[in-house]
Every structure is written in C-alpha cells, then in structure tokens.
C-alpha cells in the first residue's frame, strides 16, 4: 500500500489524466477527447494509491483568457461557488481544487499556480495551500501559462495533509528540465519538519506593504503576529521588499510571451484528438462559439499573447531578467539577507469579493507576486474570519525553504486552530 492508499483526491482540470476523464482547462475547445497519458503528478498519485475522483472546476485557461475574467467560471463547469458565502468568489484559478477540499468533497487536491492561483483560493476557502519552489514538482502534462512561473502544488485542510501530499508529488522528471534544479534539495519526508515549537527562536519579517487593502483583515493578521511573538518568534516589522511593485509590467510581458509558446507546445502533445492545435485555433474557436465561451468577458490576454514573437526577442529576455533580478536578489533574497530572516509573513489576501458577471473580478490585492515571479515557495494557512469570510496568512521565503515554511505554518496552525467548516450560506454572515 502506498502513502495515499484509498485517499480520495481531485485534480485541477488543467492536469492530464490518461483515462476517460477529460482535461480541458475549463474550455470547450479541449473537450473532444481525453488526454493521451497521465501528467507526471498523476502518475505519482496513482503509484501512491490515491483514488482520483475527478477533475476540479477552474477559471478557464487558468484566468488567462480575458482581462475582466470572473474567477472560478468556465464554460465547461459553470461558476464555482465559495462554500462560506455562495455569492462570493472562490478566487482563481484553482478555485474548484480549494472548494472541494473546504467542502469535504475530497481529502486533498492538486492546484496549479502562475501567480496566486493556489494561495488565493486556499486563503478564501479556509484551507492550506502550498506553492512549491519551481522545479520541486513536475509540470509535464499540465496545460501551461508560463514555464518561468507555473507549478503544481498540494492543497488540504491541514498543514500535515499538505506535507504528506507534497511527499508524493516531488521527483525528477526528464520531461520537465526544471526538476533537475531540485536534485539534492528534495526532502524524503516533509512531515518531519512539522514542529509545534518551530516558531520559537524564528526571525520573521513582516511585509507591511501588503497590508492596507482591508482594515478588518489587518486586525486579524496583526493578531496572528501577536500569537507568533507569544510563541517565541522575533518579528522584524516592517521588513518590506525593496522592489515591491516594480515589476508588474515586466511580469505581464513575460506571461504573454510564454503563454503563446508554451500553449502551442502543449497542444502538439494532444495531437489530433482535439480540434485546436495552436493559440490561433483557440482564439478562433472562442469567436465561433462566443455564446458559450464568452458570455461574460473577452479574450484580450490571448489576443495579446498571439501578437508576440519568439522567446528570443529582446523585449521578452529583458523582462525575464528584470523579473528574476527584482523578485530574487533585489526582492526576497535581499530582504532575508538584510534582516537576517528565516521567512517573510503577510496577509494572503483580503476576504472574498462578490462574484460579478458584469464587471469581472474586483482584486483587492494578494501577496503572491514576489514568490510567484521568483519561483520561490509560499504557503498560506487559515488565520481567521472577517464577517464570516476566511482570511489566510502567508509565509514565503528563499528557494527550497519548504521545510522551514511548513514548520512555521504548522506551529501557527496548532497554536490557533481557527479553521471552521463552511456553512454554505447564501451570503456572508458573521
């Protein structure tokens, strides 16, 4: 028997399963036939004995179709609902993966993140989500956005569940060269770092520039910081990243360039079993099926991506270098080195906003960008509630620091135990 023998798992609908289930990224364009084979992470799940119950709904194309998208909506699955307040967003794009865990539809799930798509839905659905270091988990067989930021990661109701699932997902894969970076850095058992006293003696930096979007959220997180101090942690407050907010445009530039190249490559792997074979085909399909595919928002990101050239162009290479410099050596690494930190902490996001099919998402901000762009690890854990809506707290740090971050998340979780199951209310209530 494997470590997940008999454990029911859901995987996001952009992760290939070589069975009768479809893999569509939420799009009807890929709903012709199943993928030809399992993604690497699905192979690992099956080998561990997991029962893959089905695919979790998601924001179509991982929220990279239109600039006014509605998180959690796809033409294939409809609108995914936040179980804490059914009229509010579950956040995206791993919305269904988070909701399924929160609502006890499965024990654990697999999500994917390019920037925020694991940690935001985890925070807004009161579960634990881990975005690993780029290369720790293979992306082979996963519908991509951008290879410089994409990764799959575990989602669960507890830090221990997430650590157990991470044990299964890691491993070298010749089909994803990024996993070679993880050689010698993968732990055999991440649960051994789950220490209820891990925060005692820890030095944690507070990224204050991620506060301020919601006063009630700030009060919850400030209370969480007090808990950490009581547990023996030294807080450096503030410990803001010197490059905060300086690479928004360059991140977008990299994503649109890589989306075109990476999606075209992925679609080749699906062969003639699907009707689209390139981004050009996807754009045309959306226009031809506008009533089903685009009833609420357009496909500006896809059109912009399609206008880009190759990954050898100077505009792309300059943006990629800028991203790495500002998020790594002048961002997370600089902050940790300057203040002698073990990790950085921030509110994951404000509470869930109302689902709005007219105007699209209202995004109050999330602390996901630095770790997402750097390719560094980020874990969110439930911290409390605002008017009945979950709020998460984030720990992120340097590359391959998953053991440290999971230890801090576990210690905080065990000291607070704030998670409550959802009540499936029509709207938020205290």
| Among the ranges given (19-28, 94-103, 201-210, 356-365), the one the predictor scored with the smallest mean pLDDT | 356-365
The active-site residue out of 93, 224, 250, 327 is 93
pLDDT of residue 428: 81
- Residue 6, number of CB atoms within 10 A of its CB: 10
Establish if 424 belongs to a structural domain: no
Is the pLDDT at 208 greater than 80? The verdict is: yes
How far, CA to CA in Å, does 321 sit from each of 181, 241, 316? 18, 18, 9
Is the pLDDT at 209 greater than 80? The verdict is: yes
pLDDT of residue 429: 76
The active-site residue out of 117, 319, 368, 401 is 117
CATH at residue 53 = 3.90.1300.10
Give backbone dihedrals phi and psi of 128, rounded to 5 degrees, phi first: -100, 135
pLDDT of residue 293: 98
pLDDT of residue 55: 98
Establish if 17 belongs to a structural domain: yes
- Residue 119, number of CB atoms within 10 A of its CB: 33
pTM of the model: 0.98
Establish if 60 belongs to a structural domain: yes
Establish if 1 belongs to a structural domain: no
- Residue 403, number of CB atoms within 10 A of its CB: 17
Establish if 282 belongs to a structural domain: yes
What single string gives the DSSP state of each residue in 213-232? Answer: S-HHHHHHHHHHHHHHHHTT
pLDDT of residue 326: 98
Strand order across the 203-206 sheet? 51-56, 8-12, 108-113, 151-156, 128-131, 378-386, 389-396, 343-347, 203-206, 234-236
Concerning whether 12 is annotated as a catalytic residue, the answer is yes
Q: Shortest CA distance to 368 belongs to which of 147, 126, 91?
A: 91
State the average pLDDT for the chain. Answer: 98
Establish if 171 belongs to a structural domain: yes
Establish if 429 belongs to a structural domain: no
Q: Domain residues for 284?
A: 8-416
- The total of structural domains in the chain comes to 1
159 band by pLDDT with thresholds 50, 70 and 90: very high
The predicted-structure confidence for 275-306, as pLDDT tens digits, reads as follows 999 999 999 999 999 999 999 999 999 999 99
269 band by pLDDT with thresholds 50, 70 and 90: very high
Establish if 144 belongs to a structural domain: yes
User: Span 101-113, mean pLDDT?
Assistant: 98
- Give the C-alpha separation, 45 to 35, whole Å: 17
């Amino acid at each position: 028997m494997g470590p997940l023998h008999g454990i029911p798992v859901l995987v996001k609908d952009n992760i290939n399963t070589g069975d009768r289930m479809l893999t569509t990224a939420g799009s009807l364009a890929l709903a012709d036939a199943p993928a030809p084979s399992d993604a690497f992470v699905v192979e690992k799940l099956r080998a561990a004995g997991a029962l893959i119950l089905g695919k979790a709904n998601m924001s179509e194309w991982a929220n990279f179709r239109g600039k006014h998208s509605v998180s959690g909506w796809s033409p294939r699955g409809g609108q995914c609902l936040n179980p804490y307040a059914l009229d509010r967003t579950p956040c995206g794009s791993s919305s269904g993966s988070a909701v399924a865990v929160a609502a006890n539809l499965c024990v654990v799930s697999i999500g994917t993140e390019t920037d925020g798509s694991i940690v935001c839905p985890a925070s807004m659905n009161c579960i634990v989500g881990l975005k690993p270091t780029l290369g720790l988990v293979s992306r082979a067989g996963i519908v991509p956005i951008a290879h410089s930021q994409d990764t799959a990661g575990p989602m669960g109701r507890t830090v221990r569940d997430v650590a157990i699932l991470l044990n299964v997902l890691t491993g070298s894969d010749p089909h994803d060269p990024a996993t070679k970076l993880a050689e010698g850095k993968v732990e055999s058992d991440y649960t051994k770092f789950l220490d209820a006293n891990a925060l005692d003696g820890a030095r944690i930096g507070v990224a204050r520039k991620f506060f301020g979007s919601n006063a009630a959220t700030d009060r919850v997180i400030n209370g969480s910081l007090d808990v950490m101090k009581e547990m023996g942690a030294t807080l450096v407050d503030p410990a803001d990243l010197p490059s905060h907010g300086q690479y928004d445009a360059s991140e977008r530039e990299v994503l649109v360039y890589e989306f075109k190249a990476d999606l075209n490559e992925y679609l080749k792997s699906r062969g003639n079993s699907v009707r689209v074979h390139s981004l050009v085909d996807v754009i045309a399909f959306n226009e031809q099926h506008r009533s089903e595919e685009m009833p609420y928002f357009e496909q500006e990101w896809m059109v912009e991506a399609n206008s880009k050239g190759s990954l050898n162009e100077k505009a792309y290479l300059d943006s990629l270098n800028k991203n790495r410099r500002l998020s790594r050596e002048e961002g997370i690494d600089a902050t940790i080195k300057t203040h002698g930190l073990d990790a950085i902490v921030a509110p994951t996001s404000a509470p869930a906003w109302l689902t709005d099919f007219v105007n699209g998402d209202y995004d109050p901000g999330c602390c996901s960008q630095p770790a997402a762009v750097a390719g560094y690890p980020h874990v969110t854990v439930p911290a409390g509630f605002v008017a009945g809506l979950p709020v998460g707290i984030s720990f992120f740090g340097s590359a391959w620091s998953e053991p440290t971050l999971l230890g801090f998340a576990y210690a905080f979780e065990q000291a607070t135990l704030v998670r409550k199951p959802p009540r499936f209310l029509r709207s938020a209530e205290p």
